[in-house]
A and B are shown apart, each in its own frame.
Chain A
Amino acid sequence: MTIVLDPTAGSNADIATPGPDAGPLAGKRVAIRIDMLWRSWDWVSQIWAEELRAEGAEVEFWRSCGRTGEEGRVAAEEYAAVLARADMAIVGLGNCGSCTSWTIADALQAAATGIPTIAVATAHFEALAKNLARRGGRSGLRLHILPYPLDILPRSEVDDIARNQYRSFLRNFGVRSGLAQLSAA
């Protein structure tokens, strides 16, 4: 008798829902996770932070740098503390393989705390981001997709993208505010 053994392994558990909506912004503390790779994400998140503050939210940035060794241990503690203080989390940027991996890992960690969470990636890495979220057990993770390529664009163009995308970003995040409710022009 021949027995065929399966060389693969799979995961079963999945949360297909996006989690709680971000809701109203006024009085909320928003954690924005940035990184040391993408200047474009710094620029986009700065503009979004200004807009969030204008709607009454408080914004705290946290920059992801080394994630292994002693530096990684410290980073893990810092990030957990940032999430503990936050009412909602914006996590980016998935704009390469490894950084998308860390973006989704950090977004999954934020979502697991129960706070409204959205991961941000560029279009080329959307499929990877979705794959990793599904394989991480949360296929419903909210994603906002920015155009690709992004990081090689001049700042003025990236700033325009940030402003143009802000309303759709709010809607993806489940924000309820005057600006988010406006239909696209």
Chain B
Amino acid sequence: MQDFLVRGGRFPDELIAHLPPLKTECTVEKIAINAVMAGAPPESMPLLIAAIEAMADPKFDLAGLNATTGSVVPAVIVNGPVRNKLGIPYQAGCLGGVAGSAAGIGRALRLIMRNVAGQLIDSTSQSVYGTPGRVAGIVFGEWEERSPWAPLAERRGVKGDAVTVYGAMGTANICDVVADSAEGFLEIIAKSMAYPGANGFLTSSAFSETLCAINPVWAEVIARQFPDMRDVQAFLWDKCALPIDWWRPEYRKPIEALGRIKADGRVHLVPTSDDVLVMVAGGLGGLHAAMLHSWGTCLTVTRAISE
């Protein structure tokens, strides 16, 4: 415990956040206790503290996220040199299965949600299915060294060591063996993300985001045509849409009432290209991208990791 508290660089009784649904005090000591139980490394304390601060940001709507019927978990994306220091995975197997500290860190955050925030299935959480990410979290990094673009956190205003929390409805794979161009790769990613049951299409969601991780092999090809990430996001946003006719007729009225049917008859998954989050991660085998759908109105939050 002492090691964890020292590495945290804060007083044990320092309040980091009030976490819903209990709205109880999450102190440095509570984070440390749960980190010890989870097997997280002591050096991860600053990351854990930053992640908790990010999740407690009102923009993230942790109260709704922790209570929802949805199968959502805060995914934790790590940028900066701290990835290598802590052994956060960002290469092959980064979303699960590779040895390293991610499972311990993720488990610590999940224990904090249970023990401190009070998120319990069938009590304060109504999640119909849950998700494997609720066991040991979703913690991974960006392969910045192989990314042709600036790191995700830097594009969101935080350079260096940073943590980004994103309300993820699990992870899903996108596989393609035909595309050989930037537009080909981006189009299969975008169209795969636009499935009718995605929360972003819900008429009950005021807005949503979406996130995809592109493997370094595809990223290199894409960046030759789209060196500016904003153009990547704009292309993905444009193709990440469905024609209104894909839904049964009774869907038209509520979707139309939200003003979401564009002049060309399409409905976009997310409101703007800024809401399409893109990062580079994954192995050099190529062939696959990963999509992490947003739960809904919890807005992604990025925080610096302070030693």
Contacts from A to B (Cβ < 8 Å): 5-11, 35-37, 65-69, 71-72, 96-102, 105, 125, 127-128, 131-132, 135-137
Contact in complex: B123, A97 (CB < 8 Å): no
Contact in complex: A98, B25 (CB < 8 Å): no
Nearest neighbor of B112 in chain A, beta-carbon distance: A7
| Interface flag for B155 (CB, 8 Å) | no
Give A130 Cβ to nearest chain B Cβ, in Å. Answer: 10
Pairs A–B under 8 Å by Cβ, sample size 29: A6-B33, A7-B37, A8-B115, A9-B22, A9-B27, A10-B24, A35-B204, A36-B206, A65-B206, A66-B206, A66-B297, A68-B298, A68-B299, A71-B207, A96-B126, A97-B69, A98-B67, A98-B68, A100-B126, A101-B20, A105-B63, A128-B67, A128-B126, A131-B21, A132-B21, A132-B67, A135-B21, A135-B118, A135-B124
Give A135 Cβ to nearest chain B Cβ, in Å. Answer: 5
Q: Report Cα–Cα, A8/B89, bound state, in Å.
A: 29
Nearest neighbor of A73 in chain B, beta-carbon distance: B58
* Cβ-defined partner of A101 (8 Å) among B1, B24, B63: B63
Determine the chain A residues whose CB is within 8 A of the CB of B299 once the complex forms: 68-69
Nearest neighbor of A71 in chain B, beta-carbon distance: B206
| Interface flag for B125 (CB, 8 Å) | yes
Contact in complex: B70, A97 (CB < 8 Å): yes
Q: Report Cα–Cα, A42/B163, bound state, in Å.
A: 40
* Cβ-defined partner of B68 (8 Å) among A68, A71, A96, A136: A96
Nearest first, the 3 A-B pairs at minimum CB distance are A66-B206, A97-B126, A98-B64
Q: Report Cα–Cα, A102/B21, bound state, in Å.
A: 11
Give A180 Cβ to nearest chain B Cβ, in Å. Answer: 32
Contact in complex: B61, A68 (CB < 8 Å): yes
| Interface flag for B79 (CB, 8 Å) | no
Give B277 Cβ to nearest chain A Cβ, in Å. Answer: 15
Contact in complex: B124, A131 (CB < 8 Å): yes
Q: Known: A6-B33, A7-B30. Is A67-B126 also a contact (CB below 8 A)?
A: no
Contact in complex: A36, B23 (CB < 8 Å): no
Q: Report Cα–Cα, A67/B65, bound state, in Å.
A: 12
* Cβ-defined partner of A128 (8 Å) among B124, B203, B296: B124
| Contact mask for chain B residues 26-63; partner A; CB cutoff 8 A; 1 contact, 0 none | 11011001100100000000000000000000111101
| Contact mask for chain B residues 264-300; partner A; CB cutoff 8 A; 1 contact, 0 none | 0000000000000000000000000000000011110
Determine the chain A residues whose CB is within 8 A of the CB of B26 once the complex forms: 9
- Given A9-B27, A101-B67, A101-B68, 10 more A-B residue pairs with CB atoms under 8 Å apart are A6-B33, A9-B22, A36-B204, A36-B206, A37-B204, A67-B64, A71-B207, A97-B127, A102-B64, A125-B126
Nearest neighbor of B25 in chain A, beta-carbon distance: A9
Contact in complex: A128, B123 (CB < 8 Å): yes
Give B163 Cβ to nearest chain A Cβ, in Å. Answer: 19
Q: Report Cα–Cα, A51/B178, bound state, in Å.
A: 63
Give B234 Cβ to nearest chain A Cβ, in Å. Answer: 21
Q: Report Cα–Cα, A96/B64, bound state, in Å.
A: 10
Determine the chain A residues whose CB is within 8 A of the CB of B125 once the complex forms: 97
Most central of B27, B115, B122, B206 by chain A CB within 10 Å: B206
Q: Report Cα–Cα, A136/B20, bound state, in Å.
A: 9
Determine the chain A residues whose CB is within 8 A of the CB of B296 once the complex forms: 98
Q: Report Cα–Cα, A154/B68, bound state, in Å.
A: 25
| Interface flag for B116 (CB, 8 Å) | yes
Give A59 Cβ to nearest chain B Cβ, in Å. Answer: 22
Give B48 Cβ to nearest chain A Cβ, in Å. Answer: 13
* Cβ-defined partner of A9 (8 Å) among B24, B123, B127, B298: B24
Contact in complex: A102, B63 (CB < 8 Å): yes
Determine the chain B residues whose CB is within 8 A of the CB of A97 once the complex forms: 64, 67-70, 125-127
Contact in complex: B111, A7 (CB < 8 Å): yes
Contact in complex: B123, A68 (CB < 8 Å): no
Give A136 Cβ to nearest chain B Cβ, in Å. Answer: 7
Give A105 Cβ to nearest chain B Cβ, in Å. Answer: 6
Q: Known: A97-B126, A98-B64. Is A135-B23 also a contact (CB below 8 A)?
A: yes
Q: Report Cα–Cα, A67/B20, bound state, in Å.
A: 15
Determine the chain A residues whose CB is within 8 A of the CB of B127 once the complex forms: 97
